[in-house]
Chains A and B, each alone.
Chain A
Amino acid sequence: MRISRRAFALAAAAVLALPLSACGSGGDDGGSTDASGKVEGDITFQTWNLRANFKPYFDGLVADFEKKYPGTKVKWIDQPAEGYADKISADAAGGTLPDVVNVSPDLVAPLAKAGLALDLDKAAAKYKSEYLAGAWASHRIPGTSGTYAFPWYLNTGPLFYNKTLFKQAGLDPEQPPKTYDELFADALKMAQQSDGKVATLANVPTIEDFGRYGSQLMNKAGTGFAFNDAKGVELLTRYKELYDAKALDPQALTATPESTGKKFLTGAVAMNPGSALDLDNFKKQAPSLYKNIGITDQITSTGHVNMYVMGVMVNSRTKHTAAAVAFAHFVTDAQNQMSFAKKVAIFPSTAGSLDDPYFTKEDGTDETRVRIAAAKSLKNAVNYTPVLFSDQMKTALRNEVAKTLQGKESPKTALDNAVKACDRLLQQEG
């Protein structure tokens, strides 16, 4: 109790005395930002739900690193998917964060602001050129000056569609929609032809959808949200039309990624976004559906598809900065990312890796076709989700979107409310 009160006073003083930008640069408490020392010591590396499928890969990775740097010892721990943010926040608040942590950009932001993530522009600037510029930038936090995680694997995916359902609705199964206008027109037709039984989409629009549709999302300075602009309102208005026509699944308001996947598998929904990973799943779970699956590109109005970025951050309080930085870099270097990519349908974030024949040469299988198309689109893909978009903000947006679809609020009012709520949460975060 005494300790925490003192920490409280110190931190309060720090917050009052320092301008905002300084919050991110706090590397104190035994940790150092200097990664140039000898690479040695025991470090802990935490991943996010990767053990079940990739244990041998990570065991090998750790062994290779320990061999390369004698005197180091890496302890690999993996956490289940559910509760990962809770786990990290308990560790962060309690000072037990592992040395090297698998994160996504939205997890890095609060950690960086609290001074718990090492600024890699300072500590690892020499590695910057090894990565795709866009990937490196995805762990920059507006309001701070550094970059707080190595980019790790990327993911994006095509849209899958059910050719049988397209045919039944009188749509050409070889001509899937390419633009939002076509998508909405097809969806309405599908609903009409099937008497509302077959929906085309199963998810309500998320922040990425607004971004892809051309909404601004945030103001230029990164100090406030702007997805209530004309484009945003337009997108939500059209989703409302879809929902009323049952072209957007009536259960979309409570959908989870698992439930929409299931709906697509069982033919209740005609289109589903996915990744190369899902192909395998379709083959196993629904062999009859697999034959009738069509694959098309993600729809976007901006020319950039959406991508998800995973990162590897270094705890700024680590006792072995050199070893932790070296290991985080090792995990994400071109060679190791490439071999990870060959194990599972993800994409490396290192410069040049996507030009590897593995991502460019067709071999006639669907898997390869999807992989090549995704790799190509990744070169100018954007991670639309703003790094400052916290869980609480996601909930606020989702609730307002739901209110619009239920007809309780107009699209404009709903998005204004959502922006207001998100701005307030943003300010409270300071």
Chain B
Amino acid sequence: MTVTEERVRTVPPAKEARVTDEHGRRIRIGELVLRYALLLLVLAVTVGPFLWQLSTSLKGPTEDIFGSPPGFLPEHPTLHNYQRVADTIPVWDYALNSLKVAGASVVTNCVGSALAGYALARLRYRGRGIATLVFVLAMLVPVEGIIIAQFTTMRELGLNNTLIGVVLPGCVGAMNVLLMRNAFLNLPYEIEEAAYVDGANAWQRFLRIALPSVRGTLAVVAIFAFMGAWDDFLWPLIVLSDPSKFTLTIGLNYLHGTFANDERLVAAGTVIAVAPLIALFACLQRYFFRGVGEGAVKG
């Protein structure tokens, strides 16, 4: 795989009243209408299911949720289902645990992947090829097959039933390391060359020059790490025993087990699980899109 420098060009929206494309050319009205129609169609397909879930979660107990034609908007919107979720499980405690795990995972992944990625991309030493191969292979291992062995290792370290134990196996993701490696490879050598001439060592060059140039990719790694940790179910379930340490995904599983027949309640649970991620993504999306451009791998 070779990697080249790429960026999504984010051109500021044109000031003139006319709508233009990224090259400043005017777009015909017909084409524009077609584009928006297609965009709305895709929007309905991608976001629609989430909105349907939200709508279901807001429907009262007397409302028919199976009707045909379906009722898209709740007739008597209520937060009652969310109240019931909170009464059933300590949602806030679990959300806090999830936040701790996800936060720690973001930090360790950003630091660990940036360091390793830099070593793989910029530093020359024997065994670099093998080190790269290690990360590539790690990416291909099927997780379901090794989870018990992971648990045994964790127990030998005495870290089972701790939040650290939840974070540790995913604290430096192989995929993230490779993403960082690509981002560093894309930087022109000349940038560091000047610093080298000034007598900066590897650590200084990494910290002062290379790292600030790949902020976008770091945002990508941060979001991937957060998503991975927040969404994981099987590993936290295996490694944690103490309900006071449960993360949100395990906690919400109580809903599924206890109220499987009540779609409204399950819907409320899924909204609780997904809303923080969407919020986080909405905040970071600008950096994110820039970063994906930086780190993009080309075959």
Contacts and interface: CB of A to CB of B under 8 A. Distances in A.
A98 B241 contact: yes
A93 interface: yes
Contacts of B152: 4, 93-94
Contact of A46 (B148, B241, B250): B241
A12 interface: no
A356 interface: no
Contact of A96 (B155, B251, B255, B256): B155
B234 A94 contact: no
Contact of B254 (A80, A90, A257): A80
Contact of A82 (B161, B243, B256): B256
Nearest to A48: B257
Contacts of A81: 253-254, 256-258
B83 to A, nearest CB: 15
A79 B239 CA distance: 12
A328 to B, nearest CB: 18
Contacts of B155: 94-96
B253 A96 contact: no
A93 B262 CA distance: 36
Given A49-B257, A52-B254, A94-B151, A86 B238 contact: yes
Contacts of A106: none
B109 interface: no
Interface residues of B, number: 29
Interface string B146-160: 011001100110001
A220 to B, nearest CB: 36
Interface string A66-78: 0000000001011
A218 B89 CA distance: 42
Given A52-B89, A80-B237, A261-B261, A266 B66 contact: yes
A53 B258 contact: yes
A83 interface: yes
B231 to A, nearest CB: 16
A83 B237 contact: yes
- In the complex, which range does the number of interface residues on chain A fall in? 35 or more
A29 interface: no
A83 B234 contact: yes
Interface in A247-286: 257-258, 261-262, 265-266, 281, 284-285
A77 B241 contact: yes
Interface string A29-65: 0000000000000001010010111000000000000
Nearest to B260: A258
A122 B160 CA distance: 32
B250 A281 contact: no
Contacts of B66: 266
A424 interface: no
Contacts of B241: 44, 46, 77, 79, 87, 91, 96, 98
B238 A49 contact: no
B261 A258 contact: yes
A257 B258 CA distance: 12
Given A90-B151, A96-B160, A51 B254 contact: yes
Nearest to B237: A83
B97 to A, nearest CB: 15
B78 interface: no
Contacts of B161: 96
Interface in B211-260: 234, 237-238, 241-243, 250-251, 253-258, 260
A262 B261 contact: yes
A337 to B, nearest CB: 21
A158 B261 CA distance: 19
B204 interface: no
B61 interface: yes
A52 B242 contact: no
B160 A94 contact: yes
A80 B261 contact: no
Nearest to B155: A94
Given A86-B237, A98-B241, A265-B261, A80 B148 contact: no
A93 B148 contact: yes
Interface string A275-316: 000000100110000000000000000000000000000000
B61 to A, nearest CB: 7
Contacts of B89: 51-52
Contacts of B251: 80
A281 B152 CA distance: 41
Contacts of A261: 260-261
A267 to B, nearest CB: 11
Contacts of B254: 49, 51-52, 80-81
Nearest to A91: B241
22 contacts: A49-B257, A51-B243, A51-B254, A52-B255, A75-B242, A77-B241, A77-B242, A79-B237, A80-B257, A81-B258, A82-B257, A83-B253, A86-B238, A90-B151, A91-B241, A93-B148, A94-B152, A95-B155, A98-B241, A257-B260, A261-B261, A281-B261
When A and B form their complex, which 6 residue pairs have the shortest distance between CB atoms, in order from nearest? Answer: A81-B257, A258-B260, A80-B253, A94-B155, A52-B258, A90-B238
Interface of B: 61, 66, 88-89, 147-148, 151-152, 155-156, 160-161, 234, 237-238, 241-243, 250-251, 253-258, 260-262
Given A82-B256, A89-B148, 8 more contacts: A49-B258, A80-B250, A80-B257, A82-B257, A87-B241, A94-B152, A95-B155, A96-B155
